[in-house]
Amino acid sequence: MDKKQSLFLGCVADDFTGASDAASFLVNEGIPALLYNGIPKDADGLKDSAAVVIALKTRSAPVKEAVEDSRRAFRFLIEHGAGQLYSKYCSTFDSTPKGNIGPICDAMLDELNLPYTLLCPSLPVNKRIVRDGRLYVDGVPLDESHMKNHPLNPMWDSSIPKLMEEQGKYPSLILNAADLAGTDDVALRKVEEFGKRYERFYIVPDYENDDQGRRIAEVFGSARLLTGGSGLLAHLANRYKQEYGVPEGFAVDSKTSGRGILLSGSCSKATQGQIQEWRKAGGSALMLSPAQLLDGTQTTDEIWRFVLEHDNPLIYSAGGDPDGGREAETDSDKASSILEKTMSEIGLRAFESGYTRIVVAGGETSGAVMLALGFDSFLIGQSIAPGVPIMVPTKHREIRLALKSGNFGQPDFFSRALEISGE
């Protein structure tokens, strides 16, 4: 990496909330970062940033499309001087045998002609860790957790090497805690020996705590390509500061005046609890019914009237009732489509009506709302929760956004988001 260059890191994330998650960990460590919704149309803003994060929508896209979109995003970053590349995916890996993480990583190893990269999804602050090649969520193996039945990305196995056997074309090497605890030479010797048998491969290091995260950054932090969740990015950020003298990050005021709205399309257990907490505290809320939206008995106009009649209303698709869950649908694709369409329309109406604080829960919902709003670049402000920052559209500095992955955030996340973003 050239110490004279301004762009140290180019990161490509597989959805919008994952991108904001990644950017927040960099900014929290003092690294100036810009977030783009899609590949930038120009590079004007890059000169003021040490890191650029590009949000794609490849988490659930067809494999061929996901690989090609990722390849184009990385090429853009390479062309504009990124010294290091990072493929960001969810800290729960979120994949099936036909998942996109393996094909994207395979394609980048081939394109860059690299012998290996890391698979490092851990995010210890949110209780996602890797031990002996297995991914755990809050102490439970991934495939035994409540996330095993995720509607889009069911967690069918907790072994990262096994997941990659099905998805990718290269083998995986596990580096356990003992391997990392020794000298650099100990870890690198094991990598070298594995490399004698395989032209290309993946390294899956133990990552259960910040000490191990720092150790991974020490040993592998200069690699051309790294992949993982946002946890490792904090340790890479510290490495950049120490080695390159990074300038101060953006000073973004996280507060603005004006009305707020909350939109939730997430079915996750954490978000369901957050919705229930909001309602218990007396917050106004309206649940959407996919069946009624499809047959016209619940309309966007009716929902919008509810928004106008209440302060800081929450519009949600699941999780407000004690039994959680969204009502059963005969056609889940139609249900998801109408919910995203409706949330997008409500978000757009809110923006056009002068609402300045928009909070969205759920990766797919966040992506759909951002597409409707048309914002394409963002400054990153204060974090509401680990991985969930306040975001300021560069062309609408009066707006404050908060977009969270379903399982992120404290029980009182919605009230916190409004408090931190409002004057």
pLDDT digits (tens, 9 = 90+) for 91-138: 888 666 778 999 999 999 999 999 999 999 999 998 999 999 999 988
Give the rounded distance of the alpha carbon of 193 from its chain centre: 34
Is residue 146's pLDDT more than 60?
yes
Polymer length of the chain: 423
Give the residue extent of every domain in the chain: 9-244, 260-421
Handedness of CA 210, 215, 220, 221 (dihedral sign): positive
Determine the Cα–Cα distance for residues 109 and 107; give it in Å rounded to an integer.
6
CA angle 67, 70, 75 (to 5 degrees): 125
| Cβ partners under 8 Å of residue 242, min gap 6 | none
Give the rounded distance of the alpha carbon of 334 from its chain centre: 25
Q: What is the CA radius of gyration of the chain?
A: 21
- State the burial class of residue 178 (Cβ atoms within 10 Å of its Cβ: 0-12, 13-18, 19+): exposed
Is residue 314's pLDDT more than 90?
yes
Give the rounded distance of the alpha carbon of 224 from its chain centre: 21
pLDDT digits (tens, 9 = 90+) for 189-210: 999 999 999 999 999 999 999 9
The CATH classification of domain 260-421, taken from the options 3.90.79.10, 3.40.50.1100, 3.40.980.20, 3.30.980.10: 3.40.980.20
pLDDT digits (tens, 9 = 90+) for 324-336: 444 444 467 788 8
* Average pLDDT in the chain: 89
Give the rounded distance of the alpha carbon of 282 from its chain centre: 30
Determine the Cα–Cα distance for residues 367 and 133; give it in Å rounded to an integer.
31
The answer to whether the 9-244 and 260-421 domains have the same CATH topology is no
Domain 9-244: CATH superfamily is Putative sugar-binding, N-terminal domain (3.40.50.10840)
Mean pLDDT of the region 213-238: 95
pLDDT digits (tens, 9 = 90+) for 236-269: 998 888 776 665 555 588 999 999 999 999 988 8
Query: What are the residue ranges of helices labelled H in 296-362?
Result: 300-309, 332-352
